[in-house]
Structure 1
Amino acid sequence: MAYTLTHSLSHVLASLASLIIMISSFTILKFLSPFFIKNKKSHKIPKLPPGPKPWPIVGLLPEMLTNKPVFRWIHKVMEEMNTEIACFRIGNVHVIPVTCPKLACEFLRKHDADFATRPLSMATETATNGYLTTALTPFGEQWRKMKKIVANDLLSQQKHQWLQDKRDQESNNLVFQVYNKCIKNNNNNNNNNNVNKDNCFGLVNVRSVARHYCSNVAKRLIFNIRHFGEGGIDGGPSFEDEEHLISGTFKLLKYINAFCVTDYMPCLKGLYDFDGHESEIKEAMRIMNKYHDPIIEERIKQWNDGLRSEQEDFLDVLINLKDSNNAPLLTPMEIKSQIIELMMAAIDNPSNAVEWALAEMVNQPELLQKAIAELDRVIGRDRMVEESDIPKLNYIKACAREAFRLHPIVPFNVPHVSIKNTIIGNYLIPKGSHILLSRQGLGRNPKVWKEPHKFKPERHIKSDGDDVVLAEPNLRFMSFSTGRRGCPGVMLGTTMTVMLFARLLHGFHWSAPPNVSSINLAECNDNLLLAKPLVAMAKPRLALELYQLI
């Protein structure tokens, strides 16, 4: 009987053990099954875009430091890999350059909300005084506030019309300045100082003239002034204007989205200025503040003391914005920061496009003749070009579009950052990736453009005769960005570009300098500018009385 009980007990214990093992097995399987399913599904998750294999921790930072300029290295690698989207892991950041318009539209149109923020960087933080502005500020309440102000209170159609007379003054000053360069040559060859049209011509640095025109327009709209300091009697810039433009504005533009070591390895921030960017940015900001701050602070004081009652410019508008409690909507630092950003945004794109377009057209005189024929047909020779003429100048705008396409001012747009993991073109774009739409890659893409490296304005003329516009919503090239972070200044940018270009072409004959057969169209190695500023021969082509009237 003892044997029977022992046997029965052993059987029960064995059964119990089997039951426990079975329950445990099912429990473990249940626990692990999501892992197996996840692993099974993980094989279907898209891979990162193709790119060079990164080093541990530092990624491709060594390659970035040894392959300058970085944008040419990136484009060379993409060309060698035959890809229109790539992934360069630099430090702990996935940098995703794109040269395909279709993919670009996926980023900025289809998935725009997922890429609506900006990266944090040393340069942008410094230039915006801690992200107080619009274009460079990450997605959030401050960006929403400032974007609404810029779009509705500064760059609306109503404000555009309100400030037309200030833009007209600078269009006239542009012609006056170039004409005076021609007169100077005439006077040097004519002891009586009588204007002889045969001797009335001069060499003009088009880059300088174009940049100062854009800077003057910006200063007129923002501060209602033309010069910092005393301007030249010929309408040209002062020393202060040169310093503000070259050592301030364009220095900021050079470094604002440069590839800075500490942006990709934040642990190094504050230890050392590895590439010298920090000192350059701080010096540029010092110069900008030197010229802007006294004007802004004095203007705020005038309004507070009741010494000013009528708004004349953007600065007055910004000072007088009120919140729901009728208190100032913007702090002085917000005003100062936004004005610096407006100054940067207004100057580089129009001046670069016009310089390149004129250089290309001097080398192709038949294009120059087509543009002049359109201007003479629409405007004639008895008056100057006006802003109201812009809708009728389709060939002029086609030439400007072609310059934006072939000769963008910078290699990449302002970076967008992914706020979550996103699938674009069957590739995984990880959260936190920096998206760089390649302006030169899009505009020179041979799958999109025939003869992509040839300057052909006719490609932009519509067969149905519709109005030619400078914006390109399908991102086959980039003049003004689109989407949530799109440029709110399309109207102003278009007006400045066309007026600058049309006034130069309508007012003067242009040719290569003496003893020069053609303009050298070589590109800078470090950027996309003409390697040498365009210097061309200008000669008045309208009645001399018109120039003297302005």
Structure 2
Amino acid sequence: MDFILYSIAGLFSLLCFAIASRRWRRRSPPLPPGPIGLPLVGSLFSLDPDLHTHFASLAKTYGPIFSLKLGTKLGVVITSPEISKEVLRDQDAIFANRDVPAVAHIIAYCASDIVWTPDGPTWRMLRKVCVREMLSKASLDGVYGLRRREMRAAVVDLKRSCGKAVDVGAQMFVTVMNVITSTLWGGIVEGEEGRSTVGKEFREVVAEITELLGQPNLCDFFPRLGWMDLQGIEKKMKRNLERFDGIFKRIIYERKGKQEEEGEGGKEKDFLEFMLRLEKEGADAKIPFTMTHVKALLMDMVVGGTETTSNTIEWAMAEMMKKPEIMRKAQEELDQVVGKDSVVEESHILKLPFLGAVIKEVLRLHPALPLLVPHCPSSPSTVAGFSIPQGSRVFINVWAIHRDPSIWENPLEFNPERFLGLDGGKWDYKGNDFSYFPFGSGRRICAGIAMAERMVGYSLATLLHAFDWELPSGSKLDLAEKFGIVLKKAEPLVAIPTPRLHHDLQLYT
């Protein structure tokens, strides 16, 4: 009798548990809606190469948060300020990690840099090293002379090319690259082949790196197939790593040799020297700062700071050439603030509100990273009432948010005036307003905002103050975009500079 009673009680308990579990599953939030996709591969093979516009189109069907099955991975796309705030502010700690692509693991020295290192003590140490020693206001003020030297060298180059068509983006890439490498290790990318030729080669390598970082890779969505490298993407990235690693090794070897000759003591001359001392002495008693970290941070600065900055300058020039009245207004402001008998200094930039509005409008229409760097939750989460599984790849489509007609009036029009006046003054780059956050937000916000502000503002002011610009005869201005992890113009901006103020070249030397 007791056995029968115990059996009935056991069956009753199991039944109650099954009912409770079923009800719990029903109460558990569902995944975000999205296309069903195919068995095994999901929506992987239906992805459009221009992911930012493809995701924006899908959002019109599935809403401001949707999911896609991408092989064995789940992709979640967010296209709303409110939901972006949930991820980047309210649940920042959960979403502060990265789902590291195979090619990023390669180019970032096993994800040993600021961009891809997981949130934690090592990442905080790396960010502190960069922000405090290279990207702080005091550090940037201290190397203004390098920026001035390279910008004036660019003006001299352009004056010698007057009347001829020049590739604006390529010219600015060389300038930005030389500023960054001078700041890092006191050298520039010139060689026997000449400034423009060497710069062109470096630009092609950096462009391929950023393109590979944004290209869907089957190895990421089917990790067990990773060893096969079916698309050859990892092989290409390894070649790029070898090229940069060779440069870094040579520079580090030469610098260590000089340090041994000069002995200990004295202030570091540049960021590399500081990092080498840190590598020798240790950044933290508990967290080693290794030679891998040294090279990974060099890679971050060279790759992350060059193309994003030069592309923004190129976009700004293209948009203003499309609307010459905006270029004229920016030049009139420069003439009033700088004068016609002087040259632009970085100290002028804060006195140029219209130029600042131009830059903000460029970054609204053409954010450097249209999907930011994808985030990855470290634990299961609920966002906007939907379940986001641990390990998902979360894309924030800032490009689409910046073009949302419910937020922006005439969102496709290039109109810097929207950033002037009482309403326009509220927009900045700090990531506090999730209707406008071109550099991201939260703890993984871009570390190089201050550097980018200075380089873009100073470069644009100089180009507009020193020259008038026109298209070559018979050519048309194309504003089509080319998607990658970095957004760029599909066709380079080729324009003819003409001196405005007839300065003697000695003013720029």
After TM superposition, the score normalised by the length of structure 2 is: 0.92
1:265 aligns with 2:245: no
Distance 1:528 1:133 in 2: 21
Q: What SS does the aligned partner of 1:114 have?
A: coil
Letter in 1 for 2:110: G
Q: What is the CA deviation profile of residues 464-513 of structure 1, one whole-angstrom value per residue up to 9, with x for unaligned ones?
A: 78597445432324421221111121111110111111111111112222
1:222 aligns with 2:184: yes
Q: What SS does the aligned partner of 1:137 have?
A: coil
**1:90 deviation in Å?**
0.7
Contact 1:220–1:226 (Cα < 8 Å) also in 2: yes
Determine the structure 1 residue equivalent to 2:131.
Answer: 151
Correspondent of 1:490 among 449, 457, 460: 449
1:510 aligns with 2:469: yes
Determine the structure 1 residue equivalent to 2:42.
Answer: 59
**1:78 deviation in Å?**
2.9
Determine the structure 2 residue equivalent to 1:48.
Answer: 31
1:520 aligns with 2:501: no
Distance 2:327 2:109 in 1: 45
Determine the structure 2 residue equivalent to 1:388.
Answer: 347
Correspondent of 2:400 among 432, 435, 441: 441
Determine the structure 2 residue equivalent to 1:293.
Answer: 249
Determine the structure 1 residue equivalent to 2:338.
Answer: 379
Determine the structure 2 residue equivalent to 1:250.
Answer: 207
Give the % identical residues: 27
Q: What is the CA deviation profile of residues 64-92 of structure 1, one whole-angstrom value per residue up to 9, with x for unaligned ones?
A: 4xx4445544343333x152221011112
Change (3 A) 1:468 1:474: closer
Structure 1 alignment gaps of length 5 or more? 1-16, 183-200
Q: Which has the higher contact order (CA 8 A, sep 6+)?
A: 2
Determine the structure 1 residue equivalent to 2:13.
Answer: 30
Contact 1:128–1:136 (Cα < 8 Å) also in 2: yes
Q: What SS does the aligned partner of 2:489 have?
A: coil
Determine the structure 2 residue equivalent to 1:197.
Answer: none
Q: What is the CA deviation profile of residues 376-428 of structure 1, one whole-angstrom value per residue up to 9, with x for unaligned ones?
A: 12211222221112222211111111111112334311111011111111111
Contact 2:172–2:313 (Cα < 8 Å) also in 1: yes
Determine the structure 2 residue equivalent to 1:420.
Answer: 379
Contact 1:96–1:433 (Cα < 8 Å) also in 2: yes
1:141 aligns with 2:121: yes
Q: What SS does the aligned partner of 1:139 have?
A: coil
Distance 1:412 1:466 in 2: 25
Determine the structure 2 residue equivalent to 1:172.
Answer: 152
1:241 aligns with 2:199: yes
Q: What SS does the aligned partner of 2:230 have?
A: coil
Letter in 1 for 2:86: E
Distance 1:507 1:134 in 2: 37
Q: What is the CA deviation profile of residues 147-195 of structure 1, one whole-angstrom value per residue up to 9, with x for unaligned ones?
A: 221122222222112222111211212222211211xxxxxxxxxxxxx
Determine the structure 2 residue equivalent to 1:350.
Answer: 309
Change (3 A) 1:30 1:464: closer
Distance 1:468 1:388 in 2: 22
Determine the structure 1 residue equivalent to 2:73.
Answer: 93
Q: What is the CA deviation profile of residues 88-121 of structure 1, one whole-angstrom value per residue up to 9, with x for unaligned ones?
A: 1111211111121221111111110110111132
Q: Structure 2 matches for 1:357-376, cutoff 5 A? A: 357-376=316-335
Correspondent of 1:160 among 120, 140, 144: 140
Letter in 1 for 2:414: F
Letter in 2 for 1:452: P
Distance 2:56 2:67 in 1: 12
Letter in 2 for 1:137: T
Distance 2:308 2:284 in 1: 39
Letter in 2 for 1:446: P
Correspondent of 1:454 among 413, 436, 440: 413
**1:459 deviation in Å?**
0.9
Letter in 2 for 1:213: T
**1:530 deviation in Å?**
2.4
Change (3 A) 1:524 1:261: same
Distance 2:309 2:342 in 1: 23
Q: What is the CA deviation profile of residues 329-373 of structure 1, one whole-angstrom value per residue up to 9, with x for unaligned ones?
A: 533222112101111111122211221121121121211121112
Letter in 2 for 1:227: V
Contact 1:408–1:440 (Cα < 8 Å) also in 2: yes
**1:301 deviation in Å?**
2.8
User: How many residue pairs get matched?
Assistant: 505
Contact 1:415–1:434 (Cα < 8 Å) also in 2: yes
Letter in 1 for 2:480: A
Contact 1:99–1:441 (Cα < 8 Å) also in 2: yes
Structure 2 alignment gaps of length 5 or more? none
Change (3 A) 1:58 1:549: closer
1:127 aligns with 2:85: no
Determine the structure 1 residue equivalent to 2:271.
Answer: 314
Change (3 A) 1:514 1:472: farther
After TM superposition, the score normalised by the length of structure 1 is: 0.85
1:202 aligns with 2:158: no
Letter in 2 for 1:521: L
Contact 1:123–1:257 (Cα < 8 Å) also in 2: no
Distance 2:242 2:182 in 1: 21
- Calculate the aligned-residue CA RMSD, in Å: 2.5
Distance 2:331 2:429 in 1: 19
